[in-house]
């Protein structure tokens, strides 16, 4: 029988109490060593700085557009145009004899208003960019001094391009406004004060391209890699497992989805469309571009210009202006350019409506549809900050004189700096394109509406109707022709300029060869046009039988796949074989493995049910999924469980989202920032 004394002597629970105390001590020690709160605070500070910079830029875009709109209204107020008290030089008499002179004089006054609008379109956005710098710095962002090396950041490179443009005689007045010196001066002042955020810019980047793969240097690199691999296959005279790299990613659509594109289409026709209309010099600020122009666009000229000029001519308060001889020859309305209009992109890109407009404006991704009055592209301000230095860790190390320390301190506190923010290297900023799935900055857009909850672009003339600037979802595309201000021109830029020339009828029919530095891009496209010598190695539309059909005829087919690899795969000697995308997927595991020649059932994590692994060696197997389908190279292994993964990651070091073509680029619509 237990007594009270023996019960009290029990040691049960002693270790648990000791363990809890030790864990508390360790936790406190850990919190004292790592200043986690510094990192969290820096992260919020970093995001706030970018967002405040983008909003500052967008607010100045709003004010600039409204001021331009006010000046448009002034143009329509003929009483102001002829009021003598408003002008230094009086108008000629209002009679038949002086009609032409009077009209020219009114035209001169309109030209002065137009010059003022042009001045606003250059200076307003640059004031916004300066305000964005101050907003970012006020929130703790440091100026860019060493992102790409001292004095060589993107803005300095942009200034060099402006000087080159001046040397080429391409900096003449726009609407009588000598923009170059004041514009360059503002860019220089911002650069001298230190750049805390990089902006979006138009005219310094990439054109709108279809197919979009042509605007990515990785596409050409993949084609040339496959060319080298196919050359090695032909030299060896025999196929072997893993003699080709992946055909997924950028080349995929050309060998699979564009399978109807024959050698004739790819080799003898101009199958691409490269539109520089939105990337040439816009006759306004290239940084935080407003997207305005003098006069109506070609698509809207005949519909609107007579209406607006007629509104001035038939003003009931001034009936004598009904006589066209009194009106100026050119009102020079400031209008929205094509970058504002969804229909402009819809006419040029077949996937714009489904992959962009419906996806973002139609409620496919957002909680609900975007209000119709806000369904326009238009201007936006993007701000991408440099990294923010923080003391993320506090380490304790022995004091070098701890034995002589009078204070008795044995450890000395020391800090180690870390950075929060984008990790783009100089190579990133000099590259030809940025992945649309990696956009670390903030975007703000200008919103406004006409009466009746109509979009501002319902009337193509700019009016002062913009009321607010709001942050946009980070991944929501901004207008085509906009991208992060880049540092240097690349060989691909030269090639795209050459490819856009109408004299280039096909990749084999052109007037002049591309620049020497860009010839490898042409070589890649020429190789792409070869079906049986190139594309069929990726996907063979003339394959005699599929991997599924081979499996259904003989369930042991997968055990012998690697032994009979040359028999089943495409080559010059086997034109009916399978292309890489059609081959059964070679899967591996790095754990315990299984005996060769053995099949094993395992849960199908993608389709449900039970999948079957067919082991050809201890760690290599092929799969038939839960639906009885042979898993090929364009599928994912359904016998492993996938974890959350960065969009489009193909690092090969982790198990993420299935690497199928639909997930290679989560960003819908044409490639943007």
Print burial letters for 228-260: b (CB count within 10 Å at least 16), e (below 16).
eebeebeeeeebeeebbebbbbbbbbbbbebee
Sign, CA dihedral 470-471-477-478, equals positive
**Three-state SS across 473-536?**
CCCCCCCCCEEECCCCCCHHHHHHHHHHCCCCCCCCCCCCCCCHHHHHHHHHHHHHCCCCCCHH
Higher pLDDT, 404 or 659: 404
Higher pLDDT, 468 or 10: 468
Residues 577-630 pLDDT 10s: 999 999 999 998 877 778 888 899 999 988 889 999 999 998 899 999 999 999
In sequence order, the β-bridge partners of residue 622 are 614
Whose structure tokens read 């957002």?
A: 366
Higher pLDDT, 647 or 390: 390
Look at the chain and count its residues: 673
For the chain, percent of residues with pLDDT exceeding 70 = 70
The answer to whether the beta carbons of residues 266 and 529 sit under 8 Å apart is yes
40 contacts: CB under 8 Å, gap ≥ 6: none
H or E element in which residue 136 lies: helix 99-138
Rounded to the nearest 5°, which phi and psi values hold at 412?
Answer: -120, 135
Distance CA 626, CA 611 (A): 4
Residues 393-434 pLDDT 10s: 444 444 444 344 444 433 344 444 455 555 444 444 444 443
Structure confidence at residue 670 as a pLDDT band (50, 70, 90): very low
Sign, CA dihedral 578-579-585-590, equals positive
Residues 116-154 pLDDT 10s: 999 999 999 999 999 999 999 888 777 755 444 333 467
In sequence order, the β-bridge partners of residue 144 are 195
The answer to whether the beta carbons of residues 421 and 198 sit under 8 Å apart is no
Q: Residue 314: its pLDDT value, please?
A: 41
Q: Residue 593: its pLDDT value, please?
A: 73
The answer to whether the beta carbons of residues 484 and 158 sit under 8 Å apart is no
Q: Residue 11: its pLDDT value, please?
A: 62
Nearest to 161 by CA among 501, 486, 425, 497: 486
Distance CA 652, CA 187 (A): 43
Rounded to the nearest 5°, which phi and psi values hold at 380?
Answer: -155, 160
Higher pLDDT, 651 or 78: 78
Q: Residue 232: its pLDDT value, please?
A: 93
**Region 355-378: what's the mean pLDDT?**
83
Distance CA 162, CA 75 (A): 32
Residues 39-50 pLDDT 10s: 677 778 888 889
Per-residue pLDDT for 382 more than 70?
Answer: yes
Distance CA 552, CA 301 (A): 63
Tokens, residue 117 = 């609008």
Residues 419-430 pLDDT 10s: 555 544 444 444
**Region 1-22: what's the mean pLDDT?**
66
Q: Residue 46: its pLDDT value, please?
A: 84
User: Which of 19-23, 83-87, 352-356, 437-441 is least confident?
Assistant: 83-87
Query: What is the pLDDT of the chain when averaged over all its residues?
Result: 76
**Region 175-190: what's the mean pLDDT?**
92
Nearest to 312 by CA among 300, 294, 330: 330
User: Which of 230-244, 390-404, 437-451, 603-617 is least confident?
Assistant: 390-404
Q: Across 233-242, 294-303, 646-655, which has the greatest mean pLDDT?
A: 233-242
Per-residue pLDDT for 226 more than 50?
Answer: yes
Neighbours of 54 (CB within 10 A): 31
Structure confidence at residue 233 as a pLDDT band (50, 70, 90): very high
Higher pLDDT, 253 or 92: 253
Structure confidence at residue 255 as a pLDDT band (50, 70, 90): confident
**Region 479-484: what's the mean pLDDT?**
62
Per-residue pLDDT for 558 more than 50?
Answer: yes
Distance CA 586, CA 475 (A): 34
653 contacts: CB under 8 Å, gap ≥ 6: none
User: Which of 544-548, 636-640, 663-667 is least confident?
Assistant: 663-667
Q: Across 65-79, 194-208, 474-488, which has the greatest mean pLDDT?
A: 65-79
Per-residue pLDDT for 381 more than 50?
Answer: yes
The CA–CA distances, whole Å, from 216 to 26, 444, 477, 491 equal: 50, 26, 18, 11
Distance CA 445, CA 531 (A): 45
Per-residue pLDDT for 60 more than 90?
Answer: yes
Rounded to the nearest 5°, which phi and psi values hold at 116?
Answer: -65, -40
**Region 476-495: what's the mean pLDDT?**
69
**Region 56-78: what's the mean pLDDT?**
89
Query: What is the edge-to-edge ordering of all strands in the sheet holding 599-603?
Result: 587-588, 620-624, 610-615, 599-603
Tokens, residue 551 = 């499996």
Q: Residue 148: its pLDDT value, please?
A: 43
Q: Give the 3-state secondary structure percentages of the chain, helix then strand then coil, rounded to 5.
A: 40, 15, 45
Q: Residue 161: its pLDDT value, please?
A: 76
**Region 84-98: what's the mean pLDDT?**
62
Cα angle, residue 432 at apex, residues 480 and 470 outer, rounded to 5° = 35
Tokens, residue 553 = 């005829």
Structure confidence at residue 488 as a pLDDT band (50, 70, 90): low
Q: Residue 134: its pLDDT value, please?
A: 92
Centroid of chain to Cα 323 = 51
Nearest to 155 by CA among 121, 206, 193, 128: 193
């Amino acid at each position: 029988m237990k007594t009270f004394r023996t019960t009290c002597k029990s040691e049960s629970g002693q270790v648990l109490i000791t363990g809890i105390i030790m864990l508390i001590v360790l936790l406190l020690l850990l919190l004292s060593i790592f200043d986690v709160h510094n990192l969290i605070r820096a992260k919020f500070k970093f995001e706030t700085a970018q967002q405040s910079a983008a909003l500052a830029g967008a607010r100045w875009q709003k004010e600039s557009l409204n001021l331009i709109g006010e000046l448009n209204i002034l143009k329509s107020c003929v009483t102001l145009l002829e009021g003598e008290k408003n002008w230094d030089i009086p108008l000629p008499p209002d009679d038949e004899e002086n009609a032409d002179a009077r009209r020219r004089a009114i035209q001169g006054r309109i030209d002065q208003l137009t010059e003022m609008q042009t001045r606003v379109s250059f200076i307003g956005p640059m004031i916004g960019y300066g305000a964005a710098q101050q907003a970012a710095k006020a929130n703790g962002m440091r100026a860019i001094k060493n992102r790409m090396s001292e004095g060589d950041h993107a803005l300095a490179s942009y200034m060099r391009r402006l000087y080159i443009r001046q040397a080429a005689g391409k900096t003449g007045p726009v609407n009588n406004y000598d923009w170059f010196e004041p514009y360059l001066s503002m860019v220089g002042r911002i650069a001298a004060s230190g750049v805390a955020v990089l902006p979006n810019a138009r005219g310094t980047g990439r054109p709108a391209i279809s197919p979009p793969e042509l605007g990515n240097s990785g596409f050409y690199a993949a084609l040339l890699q496959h060319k080298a691999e196919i050359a090695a296959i032909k030299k060896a005279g025999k196929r072997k497992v893993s003699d080709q790299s992946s055909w997924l990613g950028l080349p995929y659509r050309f060998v699979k989805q564009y399978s109807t594109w024959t050698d004739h289409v790819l080799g003898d026709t101009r199958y691409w469309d490269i539109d520089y209309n939105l990337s040439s010099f816009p006759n306004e600020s290239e940084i935080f571009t407003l997207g305005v122009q003098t006069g109506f666009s070609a698509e809207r000229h005949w519909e609107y210009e007579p209406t607006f000029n007629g509104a001035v001519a038939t003003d009931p308060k001034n009936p004598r202006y009904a006589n066209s001889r009194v009106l100026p020859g050119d009102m020079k309305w400031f209008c929205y350019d094509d970058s504002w209009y969804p229909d402009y992109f819809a006419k040029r890109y077949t996937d714009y409506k489904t992959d962009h407009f419906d996806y973002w404006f139609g409620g496919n991704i957002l909680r609900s549809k975007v209000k119709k009055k806000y369904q326009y592209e238009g201007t936006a301000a993007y701000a991408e900050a440099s990294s923010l230095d923080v003391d993320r860790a506090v380490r304790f190390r022995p004091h070098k004189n701890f034995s002589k320390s009078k204070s008795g301190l044995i450890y000395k506190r020391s800090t180690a700096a870390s950075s929060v923010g984008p990790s783009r290297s100089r190579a990133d900023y000099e590259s030809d394109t940025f992945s649309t799935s990696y956009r670390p900055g903030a975007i703000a857009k200008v919103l406004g509406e006409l009466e009746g909850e109509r979009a501002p672009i319902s009337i193509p003339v700019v009016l002062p109707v913009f009321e607010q600037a709001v942050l946009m979802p980070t991944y929501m595309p901004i207008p085509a022709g906009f991208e992060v201000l880049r540092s240097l021109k690349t060989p691909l830029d030269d090639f795209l300029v050459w490819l856009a020339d109408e004299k280039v009828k096909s990749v084999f029919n052109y007037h002049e060869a591309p620049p020497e530095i860009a010839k490898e891009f042409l070589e890649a496209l020429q190789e792409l046009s070869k079906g049986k010598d190139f594309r069929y190695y990726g996907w063979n539309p003339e394959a005699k039988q599929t991997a599924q059909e081979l499996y259904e005829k003989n369930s042991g087919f997968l055990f012998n796949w690697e032994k009979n690899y040359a028999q089943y795969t495409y080559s010059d000697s086997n034109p009916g074989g399978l292309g890489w995308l059609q081959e059964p997927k070679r899967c591996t595991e790095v754990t315990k493995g299984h005996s060769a020649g053995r099949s094993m059932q395992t849960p199908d994590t993608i389709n449900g049910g039970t999948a079957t692994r067919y082991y050809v060696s201890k760690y290599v197997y092929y799969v038939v999924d839960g639906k009885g389908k042979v898993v090929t190279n364009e599928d994912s292994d359904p016998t492993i469980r996938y974890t959350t993964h960065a969009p489009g990651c193909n690092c090969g070091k982790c198990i993420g989202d299935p690497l199928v073509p639909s997930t290679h680029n989560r960003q819908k619509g044409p490639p943007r920032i």
